[in-house]
Structure 1
Amino acid sequence: MLCGTCAAPGTFALEPRPLPQTAPEGWVLVDIDAVGLCGTDFHIFEGKHPFLAYPRVIGHELSGHVAQTAAGWPKGRPVVINPYLSCGTCIACRKGKPNCCTDIAVLGVHRDGGMCARIAVPAGNLYDATGLPEGAAVLTEFLAIGAHAVRRAAPQRGDAVLVTGAGPIGLGTALFARARGAKVHLRDASAARLQAAAGFGFADLHGVEDLLPPDGFDVVFDATGNARAIQAGFAHVAHGGTYCLVSVVKDDITFSDPEFHKREMTLMGSRNATDEDFAAVMQALRDGTVDAARLISETLPLADLPARFPALVANREALIKVVVKIGGQA
């Protein structure tokens, strides 16, 4: 099979590897149908990801079908893959937070991912995708990132919410904050991203130079992946409000301690997602709360990706989600 591999920053190619025929006890072989390209993949290509060693087979937004009956999963069952492999025994896992396991291994980041025809994953990392709209399963993981952030920050109905960064993760965050009844504002330097957000019915859209409400926001989410933007966001949190950092950067983040205490601000990180978040997203896709078809900007075959990857990275502002079709390639 051919595997989409970043050998080094700026270098992406399809490398041949044997098609897996067996899986460890309790694991399941999955034939990959589609892979979503993510900001993480773009950062890997650019050499900006803080937790990655090269070479790496990318791909963590994954949908497919069970290749062989195993561990209670019947052959042919459509599945979504949770790419966060946790140890099950550390302090985070014992507290029901495997998304921030101390020894986490994320497919496509800490270990090779699913940009290939077949992959083995633990049975507990699979979700039944039966009944999802066509093409929607591959969107589940990236939407779960935003759903998890919203669940952590817990905006209430009527709260003023600011999402800074209107890329795919920010847009997903905004969709789930709105579903909770919050009044959502989106801010981005890209007019194209704000225009895309308008297509989902968001009206309170702001460029980086626009004036924002002087009282601030009950909840601010950062989804920019930009240290300067993260630091600037502290000023937009209302007194008594919450700042949730969804994006991750290599840099140190600093803020004014007097302002932080004066506002009695809550600062939190949000990492990955849990079973609860995957379930919430899949329900939202099934009932139409989230329009899957509108999220997909382009679908392309794996064979075209090496030639297209640099342009996709360069033009990411014009994209919501690019989906790579794998199918039965071997």
Structure 2
Amino acid sequence: MIRGIRLEEPERFEYVELDDPTSPPEGYAQVRTHLMGICGSDVSGFLGKMPFFRYPRVPGHELGVEVLEVGPGVDNIAPGDRCSIEPYMNCGRCFACRRGNGNCCENLEVIGVMADGGLRERFNVRADKLHPSKLLSYEQLALVETLAIGCHAVDRGECKEGEHVLVIGAGPIGLATLEFVRLTGAKITVMDLVQSRLDFCKERYGVENTILFTGDESDLEHALEITGGDKFAIAIDATGNHKSMSGALQFVAHTGTLVYVGITNGEVSFPHPAMHRPEMNLKGSRNALPRDFTRIIKLIEVGTIDTGPWITHRTTFDRFRDDFPAYTRPETGVIKAMVEVQT
């Protein structure tokens, strides 16, 4: 038997004993979880607000793992390799998969959300979903998936050098988005409800323009002042809050683009002219692509991306259940919490 932690229902984690994984079959590998990052999806699942979450579930999809054993036909990794996991288990057959978009497969199962994830000692996983690095630590590898979400969202927005881009929400997904907006050379503005998060963006990333969201007309006035009256060419909403997502259209310039990367159970609504009048592009961004993982690992390896400042909280497997509720509260100052599953 192996140890694991399972979310039985919203707001109830239990320590459980699970069956030992079998020897990996063809195309699979057995991995040991060393570190797990706590994601907004984990928080939403705990609070019962994640639309894709299935209970009971072993969470964990931001993972730094060690390869223990490989099954027949596996040649992209070897025992002892340190890897990040691409947690999107796509079917390879549906319309989206045939077009190369396995990130939004019609039959998608994301480990830690729809299928059991990495908050356990060992498990088997498809070998093609493992991305190795000889240089990165398990902690750095556990952050690759978060960064990939932001990378894909920025690609969906098609951000360009010199354009005004608004990132709404400065939590982990918003910060991941910010990392890749800055690589495009765009002019960045970040908006959030929490001043400490905006301060982090200024101090860590040198973001000149921030908007402390108030929900009144001053937010739009501030946006117009920053953009010289144009509004934003691209706005990316990373809040997962249906009210924010409904109101985000007001910040987008005519012919601009709004990308939803946050996920909500709530209803997103707006009057049709708000989108039609400016001939706005409205896009969803879901998960990420294999090339995003490869790109991010290289960017961290060469120092273009520094993951160090992201980690604000740490816990262990044994303390996880007691510590987790605090990570759901922004006032605790959490940006990214890391769980030591295996030393």
| TM-score under structure 1 length normalisation | 0.96
Matching residue's letter, 1:292: T
Quote the residue 1:35 is aligned against.
36
Matched, 1:172 2:176: yes
Distance (Å, rounded) in 1 between the aligned partners of 2:331 and 2:176 = 16
Distance (Å, rounded) in 2 between the aligned partners of 1:128 and 1:63 = 10
Change over 3 Å in CA distance of 1:253–1:283 after alignment to 2: same
Quote the residue 2:324 is aligned against.
309
Aligned pair partner of 1:196 in 197, 200, 203:
200
Alpha-carbon distance, 1:199 to partner:
2.7
Quote the residue 1:276 is aligned against.
291
Change over 3 Å in CA distance of 1:89–1:173 after alignment to 2: same
Quote the residue 1:155 is aligned against.
159
Secondary structure at 2:207 match in 1: coil
Pairing of 1:105-116 with structure 2 (within 5 A)? 105-116=109-120
Which deviations, in whole Å up to 9, do the C-alpha atoms of 1:186-205 show, x marking residues without a partner? 00001121122223222211
Alpha-carbon distance, 1:2 to partner:
1.6
Quote the residue 1:255 is aligned against.
270
Matched, 1:182 2:186: yes
Alpha-carbon distance, 1:317 to partner:
5.8
Alpha-carbon distance, 1:24 to partner:
2.4
Change over 3 Å in CA distance of 1:298–1:6 after alignment to 2: same
Distance (Å, rounded) in 2 between the aligned partners of 1:311 and 1:242 = 35
Aligned pair partner of 2:301 in 281, 286, 296:
286
Which deviations, in whole Å up to 9, do the C-alpha atoms of 1:156-206 show, x marking residues without a partner? 100100000000100110110111111110000011211222232222111
Quote the residue 1:212 is aligned against.
223
Secondary structure at 1:142 match in 2: helix
Tell me if structure 1 keeps the 8 A contact 2:28–2:70: no
Distance (Å, rounded) in 2 between the aligned partners of 1:317 and 1:89 = 44
Pairing of 1:123-138 with structure 2 (within 5 A)? 123-132=127-136, 135-138=139-142
Alpha-carbon distance, 1:116 to partner:
0.9
Distance (Å, rounded) in 2 between the aligned partners of 1:142 and 1:37 = 10
Tell me if structure 2 keeps the 8 A contact 1:133–1:285: no
Alpha-carbon distance, 1:134 to partner:
6.3
Alpha-carbon distance, 1:316 to partner:
6.5
Tell me if structure 2 keeps the 8 A contact 1:186–1:206: yes
Tell me if structure 2 keeps the 8 A contact 1:31–1:66: yes
Which deviations, in whole Å up to 9, do the C-alpha atoms of 1:27-70 show, x marking residues without a partner? 11011111000111111111111112211100010111101133
Secondary structure at 1:68 match in 2: strand
Matching residue's letter, 2:190: L
Distance (Å, rounded) in 1 between the aligned partners of 2:329 and 2:279 = 40
Alpha-carbon distance, 1:282 to partner:
1.2
Matching residue's letter, 1:323: M
Distance (Å, rounded) in 2 between the aligned partners of 1:317 and 1:163 = 22
Tell me if structure 1 keeps the 8 A contact 2:150–2:173: yes
Matching residue's letter, 1:203: E
How many residues are aligned here? 328
Quote the residue 2:126 is aligned against.
122
Matching residue's letter, 1:273: A
Matching residue's letter, 1:152: R
Aligned pair partner of 2:100 in 93, 96, 101:
96
Quote the residue 1:230 is aligned against.
245
Tell me if structure 2 keeps the 8 A contact 1:19–1:117: no
Distance (Å, rounded) in 1 between the aligned partners of 2:176 and 2:68 = 30
Tell me if structure 1 keeps the 8 A contact 2:24–2:70: no
Distance (Å, rounded) in 2 between the aligned partners of 1:129 and 1:296 = 20
Tell me if structure 2 keeps the 8 A contact 1:298–1:323: yes
- List structure 1 segments (4+ residues) > 6 angstroms apart after TM superposition: none
Tell me if structure 2 keeps the 8 A contact 1:88–1:94: yes
Which deviations, in whole Å up to 9, do the C-alpha atoms of 1:109-160 show, x marking residues without a partner? 1111111111211111011122225621110000100000001111110010
Matching residue's letter, 1:24: P
Distance (Å, rounded) in 2 between the aligned partners of 1:14 and 1:184 = 43
Distance (Å, rounded) in 1 between the aligned partners of 2:33 and 2:78 = 15
Which deviations, in whole Å up to 9, do the C-alpha atoms of 1:195-218 show, x marking residues without a partner? 222232222111113421232100
Pairing of 1:6-17 with structure 2 (within 5 A)? 6-17=7-18
Where structure 2 has 5 or more consecutive residues not aligned to the other structure, the ranges are none
Q: How well do the aligned residues superpose, as a CA RMSD in angstroms?
A: 1.4
Tell me if structure 2 keeps the 8 A contact 1:50–1:249: yes
